[in-house]
């Protein structure tokens, strides 16, 4: 059955701190070059949960089994809960383990059993394997993260994995032998990677679901199950012996007294991420000199597994585990335990492992050198120098990861810091330029504002002057639509224009053809077309005579017209003066020509004409 990946990173809350990348022992987390966000590569992941624990914003989550377990319990079938021995260290807040057992029963479990009996069975198998030495050294195969690490990154060592099932699987077999093959099994423990381990087994070894301690607490809260409301209840048989020490790293060996003597013992025990990685590497390269079996745990034993509550105190948990074991052993019925062990003699506790090589090809030296030059670390080609802040042990390993597409150059803090300083300097220069531009822009805006105010003032003056002219003024566009006109024009055109002006001030947009007769507006059309002015043309408009001048303003786009009512006294006087002046100017040349003939007559004629002009200029003056 398909299962979603064990871990997932939410890009909505990820802050790109790369803590997950730095802590992942197998670099199963790729950083996308396009958005610099990390994502987990499921095939490379060993399920250790280090990234989950290291993620400060809790962007990394693991596959929940709560809904799955709830469905199993609701189906009405027999369901057994197998409790990892670490449970005594996790639930320090529960005063008596018997209350704890009843709390689990209240969830709907038919049986509640200890995995410590499975530890006893498996430990006995290991004791037999180690004592029956045939020249091959082994890894214990109890920690699923260690098993997965060897299968994926040291597949040549899978024959050195002890071919024995884990305590979880062994206990599942025992439960089905004792209570029936139809029993559903839910394992409750401190390890997240057991969720994927469980998928590999069927038949009597099948694990139907795996709950972490964190998920178990979630279900207690969901069902409102509290210790204070319950009575005592004991674990269902079979009960474990010293297998309850399993959470402590050497507790597995002590369960069946496998020798840990430094001089004569055949087993090395170690725990923790770095120790596990180095141990496997040394087993691969130095086992002929070490000549020991390796008992390995990824975490600090199971006590601090990623499925336990965050903030747990290791030595407090260790004490709780040993106190629980001592308390149980005070009244332990070893004879019954031996009978139970003997009854399981025919159980097949063997298993096989499959190579799943996830190692990536190492890029050629030229490519590695190219990346090192790119991140300004070219001097670190053939050495182990590096600050390790990127999550890789040295600059060369980071360069290899970048070449393999697992990392980005920005993960090098030295390189990104240098780039950041360059960026800050560029930003500072840009800000200075922006500040100078802002000042210049402000000055330009002020200047433009003053110019606009001057233009507005000028336009207001011109408009005021235009409106106070005695002559009518009109400006029209190439469609003979009025663009602007003054009051004198509206008065000259008549009542219709005055009515339109009340609705549309200045007749803006009015059609000139609807206001003036054809012979009149055609002069405007002529000027628009020919781009030549018409000057001082007399035009009869109704009962008045107009002096009309039409001239281009913008070629073929706008023309202006000046209309003067010739019957207005001021205009008539101006026109007579203008025209008499023109007559004088025209005749003066003639007078000069005939002056020789007429003598004084020319002078008198000039005086007479000037007298006439003066009389029109000053009508009250006696001549």
Same domain, 148 and 287: yes
What whole-number distance in Å separates Cα of residue 83 and Cα of residue 190? 10
Percent of the chain at pLDDT > 90 equals: 52
pLDDT tens readout for residues 124-152: 999 999 999 999 999 999 999 999 999 99
Contact status, residue 398 vs residue 390, Cβ threshold 8 Å: yes
Range of the domain at 377: 361-411
Q: Of 148-162, 340-354, 395-409, which gets the smallest average pLDDT?
A: 395-409
At residue 595, does pLDDT exceed 60? Answer: no
What whole-number distance in Å separates Cα of residue 544 and Cα of residue 103? 114
472-477 and 7-9 strand pairing: unpaired
pLDDT for 385 equals 63
Same domain, 525 and 605: no
Same domain, 72 and 165: yes
3-state helix, strand, coil in the chain (%, to 5): 50, 15, 35
201 part of a folded domain: yes
531 part of a folded domain: yes
pLDDT tens readout for residues 390-422: 667 777 777 887 887 777 776 676 666 565 555
pLDDT for 446 equals 83
290 part of a folded domain: yes
What whole-number distance in Å separates Cα of residue 48 and Cα of residue 474? 90
Q: Of 12-16, 60-64, 118-122, 409-413, which gets the smallest average pLDDT?
A: 409-413
**Which tokens is 22 given?**
């730095």
Same domain, 42 and 79: no
Mean pLDDT of 497-520: 86
HSE of 229 in the Cβ direction (CA atoms, 13 Å)? Answer: 7
244 part of a folded domain: yes
Same domain, 396 and 482: no
Same domain, 34 and 86: no
At residue 599, does pLDDT exceed 50? Answer: no
- If one compares 566 and 73, the residue with the highest pLDDT of the two is 73
Give Cα 207 distance to the centre of its chain: 38
pLDDT for 612 equals 47
pLDDT for 424 equals 62
The residue from 393, 411, 429 where one domain ends is: 411
350 part of a folded domain: no
Spell out the alpha helix ranges (H) of 504-568. 518-530
Identify the CATH number of the domain in which residue 303 sits. Answer: 3.40.50.1780
Helix axis angle, 395-403 relative to 365-374, nearest 10°?
110
Q: Which range is most confident: 74-78, 472-476, 496-500, 605-609?
A: 74-78
**DSSP per residue over 355-408, as a string?**
----PPPPPPHHHHHHHHHHTT-GGGTTS-----TTSSSSHHHHHHHHHTTS--
* Peptide bond connecting 5 to the previous residue in cis, omega within 30 degrees of 0: no
Give Cα 395 distance to the centre of its chain: 28
Same domain, 257 and 375: no
Identify the CATH number of the domain in which residue 26 sits. Answer: 3.30.70.20
What whole-number distance in Å separates Cα of residue 120 and Cα of residue 238? 11
482 part of a folded domain: yes
How far from each other are the two terminal CA atoms of the chain, in whole angstroms?
Answer: 129
What whole-number distance in Å separates Cα of residue 276 and Cα of residue 568? 115
506 part of a folded domain: yes
**Taking the CB of residue 566, how many other CB atoms lie within 10 A of it?**
15
148 part of a folded domain: yes
Residue count of the chain, please give it.
623
HSE of 392 in the Cβ direction (CA atoms, 13 Å)? Answer: 23
Q: Burial code of 116-128, b = ≥16 C-beta within 10 A, e = fewer?
A: bbbbbbbbbbbbe
Q: Burial code of 64-100, b = ≥16 C-beta within 10 A, e = fewer?
A: ebbebbbebbeeeeebbbbbbbbbbbbbeebeebebb
What whole-number distance in Å separates Cα of residue 136 and Cα of residue 610? 144
Q: Which residues contact 337 (CB under 8 A, 6 or more apart)?
A: 117, 120, 238, 239, 240, 241
**DSSP per residue over 32-96, as a string?**
-TTT--EEE-TTT-----HHHHH-TT--EEE---HHHHHHHHHTTS-EEEEE-TTHHHH-TTSS-
Same domain, 214 and 253: yes
Does the global pTM surpass 0.85?
A: no
Identify the CATH number of the domain in which residue 545 sits. Answer: 3.30.450.20
At residue 158, does pLDDT exceed 60? Answer: yes
What whole-number distance in Å separates Cα of residue 547 and Cα of residue 545? 7
Integer angstrom CA distances of residue 205 from 117, 124, 475, 550: 15, 19, 101, 108
pLDDT for 623 equals 47
What whole-number distance in Å separates Cα of residue 176 and Cα of residue 170? 10
At residue 353, does pLDDT exceed 80? Answer: yes
At residue 516, does pLDDT exceed 90? Answer: no
Q: Which residues contact 510 (CB under 8 A, 6 or more apart)?
A: 481, 482, 497, 500, 504
Contact status, residue 580 vs residue 612, Cβ threshold 8 Å: yes
Helix axis angle, 144-153 relative to 273-290, nearest 10°?
60
Same domain, 170 and 250: yes
pLDDT for 585 equals 57
User: Structurally, how many domains does the chain consist of?
Assistant: 5
pLDDT band at 547 (very low <50, low <70, confident <90, very high): confident
The partner residues of 545 in beta bridges, in order of sequence, read 540
The residue from 315, 343, 371 where one domain ends is: 343
- What does the angle CA 516 – CA 520 – CA 526 come to, to the nearest 5 degrees? 125
**Which tokens is 575 given?**
């026109």
pLDDT for 589 equals 55
Contact status, residue 113 vs residue 80, Cβ threshold 8 Å: yes
Mean pLDDT of 215-236: 93
**Which tokens is 106 given?**
């209240």
pLDDT for 210 equals 97
Same domain, 334 and 269: yes
Spell out the alpha helix ranges (H) of 137-257. 144-153, 167-179, 194-197, 213-222, 251-254
Mean pLDDT of 505-531: 88
Report DSSP state, residue 259: -
Mean pLDDT of 233-255: 93
Same domain, 400 and 546: no
Same domain, 96 and 34: no
């Amino acid at each position: 059955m398909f299962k979603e990946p064990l871990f997932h990173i939410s890009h909505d809350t990820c802050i790109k701190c790369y803590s997950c990348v730095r802590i992942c022992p197998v670099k199963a987390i790729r950083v996308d070059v396009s958005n610099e966000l990390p994502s987990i590569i499921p095939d490379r992941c060993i399920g250790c949960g280090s990234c989950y624990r290291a993620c400060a914003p809790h962007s990394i989550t693991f596959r929940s089994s709560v809904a799955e377990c709830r469905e199993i319990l609701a189906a009405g079938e027999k369901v057994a809960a197998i409790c990892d021995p670490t449970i005594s260290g996790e639930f320090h807040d529960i005063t008596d383990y018997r209350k704890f057992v009843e709390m689990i029963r209240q969830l709907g479990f038919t049986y509640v059993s200890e995995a410590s009996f499975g530890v006893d069975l498996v430990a006995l198998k290991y004791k037999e394997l180690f004592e029956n030495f045939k020249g091959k050294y082994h890894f214990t195969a109890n920690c699923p993260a260690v098993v997965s690490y060897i299968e994926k990154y040291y597949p040549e060592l899978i024959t050195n994995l002890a071919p024995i099932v884990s305590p979880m699987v062994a206990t599942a077999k025992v439960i089905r032998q004792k209570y029936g093959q139809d029993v559903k099994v839910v394992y409750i423990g401190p390890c997240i990677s057991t969720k994927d381990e469980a998928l590999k087994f069927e038949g009597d070894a099948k694990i139907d679901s795996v709950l972490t301690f964190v998920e178990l607490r979630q279900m207690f809260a969901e069902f409102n199950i509290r210790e204070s409301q319950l009575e005592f209840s004991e674990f269902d048989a079979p009960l474990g012996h010293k297998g309850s020490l399993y959470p402590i790293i050497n507790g597995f060996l002590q369960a069946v007294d496998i020798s840990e003597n430094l001089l004569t013992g055949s087993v090395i025990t170690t725990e923790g991420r770095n120790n596990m990685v180095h141990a496997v590497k040394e087993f691969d390269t130095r086992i002929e000199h070490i000549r020991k079996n390796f008992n390995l745990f990824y975490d600090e034993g199971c006590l601090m597994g990623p499925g336990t509550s965050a903030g747990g105190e290791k030595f407090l948990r260790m004490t709780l585990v040993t106190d629980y074991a001592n308390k149980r052993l005070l009244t332990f019925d070893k004879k019954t335990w031996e009978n139970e062990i003997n009854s399981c003699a025919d159980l097949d506790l063997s298993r096989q492992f499959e190579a799943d090589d996830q190692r990536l090809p190492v890029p050629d030296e030229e490519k590695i050198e190219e990346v090192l030059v790119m991140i300004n670390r070219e001097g670190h080609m053939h050495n182990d120098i590096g600050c390790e802040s990127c999550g890789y042990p040295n600059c060369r390993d980071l360069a290899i990861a970048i070449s393999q597409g697992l990392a980005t150059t920005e993960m090098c803090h030295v390189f990104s810091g240098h780039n950041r300083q360059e960026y800050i300097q560029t930003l500072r220069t840009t800000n200075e330029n922006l500040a100078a531009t802002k000042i210049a822009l402000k000055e330009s805006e002020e200047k433009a504002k003053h110019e606009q105010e001057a233009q507005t003032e000028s336009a207001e003056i011109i408009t005021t002057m235009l409106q106070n002219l005695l002559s009518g003024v009109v400006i029209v566009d190439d469609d003979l639509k009025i663009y602007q006109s003054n009051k004198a024009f509206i008065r000259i055109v008549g009542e219709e224009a005055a009515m339109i002006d009340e609705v549309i001030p200045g007749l803006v947009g009015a059609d000139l053809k609807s206001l003036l007769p054809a012979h009149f507006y055609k002069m405007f059309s002529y000027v628009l077309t020919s781009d030549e002015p018409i000057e001082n043309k007399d035009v009869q408009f109704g009962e008045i005579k107009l002096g009309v001048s039409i001239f281009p303003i913008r070629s073929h786009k706008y023309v202006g017209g000046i209309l003067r009512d010739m019957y207005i006294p001021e205009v008539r006087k101006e026109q007579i003066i203008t025209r008499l002046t023109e007559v004088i100017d025209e005749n003066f040349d003639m007078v000069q020509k005939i002056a020789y003939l007429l003598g004084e007559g020319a002078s008198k004629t000039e005086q007479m004409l000037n007298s006439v002009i003066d009389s029109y200029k000053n009508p009250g003056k006696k001549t």
